[in-house]
Amino acid sequence: MRVEILGCSGGIGGNGMRTTSLLVDGDILIDAGTGVGDLSLQRLAAIDHVFITHAHLDHIACLPLMIDSVGDMRSTPLTMHATPETLEIIRKHIFNWHIWPDFSVIPTPEQAFLRFATIEPGQTVRIGQRSITPLPAAHTVPAVGYHLRNDVSGASLAFTGDTSTCPPLWSALNQIGQLRHLIIEAAFANGERELALLSKHLCPSLLLDELQQLQSRPEVWVTHAKPGQLQQIADEIAAGSGPHRPRMLESGSILEC
C-alpha cells in the first residue's frame, strides 16, 4: 500500500502548501483538499473511492470540481464514503444545485457520476486488498479519522483527520497490530493552545501529551499546520519530541505499508 501525500497543510499560500488529501494506491482518496488539484486528468479519473473525514472546506474543496472534471471519462460512479452526519452536511450544503449540481443524479439517476455510501466508526470497508476503518475523532463538526490496512502485509497507517484530545481514538489506535505510520494533526502553535482547544484541534503540547497514550511505536507524522505558524509548530514539535519523535509531514512524500 502506497500512500501519497497530496496536501498536508492547514491552508494555502504557495511553497507546496495544499490542504489535506492522501492518495492510496492511485484509486482511493482520503479527503479531497486542494492537493487534489495537482493531479492530471488521467490520475483524477483513476480514483474510484473518496473517504471524507469531515465536511470542512479544507478537506472537501476539490471534490465537487474533480467529479465535474472527470465524470464523463469514467464508466462507473465515483463513490464518496462518509458518516451519515457528514454525508447529510455535504449533500445539503454542497451538492444542492446552488453551490454545485447534485452529481448523484447527473447525467441520469441510474448512471450518475457520484454515488454516496455511508460508513460507521469501527465498520471496515474492504477494497481489493485494503481495509479502511473509520477511527473516532473529536472536532467541531461530526468527524472521523481513518485506519488503512494492507491486508497482504498486515501493516497499517492511521490518520487522525482533524481532532482535539480524544481518548477513544487512542484506545482504537492501541488495538492496531503493526501500526507502521500515524499521521496526526497540530493545527496551531503552542501560543494558540486556547484557540486549538476551542476549535477542537491540537497544538504541539497537546499532541505530545496525547501521544503518551500510544502503546506502539509507529513513525509519527504531524499534519495540518496553519501556514503562517509552520516553522513555529515544527520547532515546538522538535523541542518536546519525547519517545515517539514526531516529524513534520511534507506534501509529495510517500508512506508505504
Query: Residue numbers of the site for Zn ion (CB under 5 A)?
Result: 56, 58, 162
Q: Give me Rg for the CA atoms of the chain.
A: 17
Give the residue with the Cβ less far from Zn ion, 1 or 23. Answer: 23
Give the residue with the Cβ less far from Zn ion, 70 or 143. Answer: 143
Give the residue with the Cβ less far from Zn ion, 49 or 56. Answer: 56
Q: At its nearest, how many Å lie between Zn ion and the CB of residue 138?
A: 11
Q: At its nearest, how many Å lie between Zn ion and the CB of residue 10?
A: 6
Q: At its nearest, how many Å lie between Zn ion and the CB of residue 141?
A: 7
Give the residue with the Cβ less far from Zn ion, 4 or 58. Answer: 58
Q: How far apart are CA 154 and CA 121, in angstroms?
A: 20
Q: At its nearest, how many Å lie between Zn ion and the CB of residue 56?
A: 4
Q: At its nearest, how many Å lie between Zn ion and the CB of residue 20?
A: 6
Q: At its nearest, how many Å lie between Zn ion and the CB of residue 224?
A: 6
Give the residue with the Cβ less far from Zn ion, 150 or 160. Answer: 160
Q: Give Cα separations from 227 to 36, 84, 231 (angstroms).
A: 18, 31, 9
Give the residue with the Cβ less far from Zn ion, 34 or 190. Answer: 34
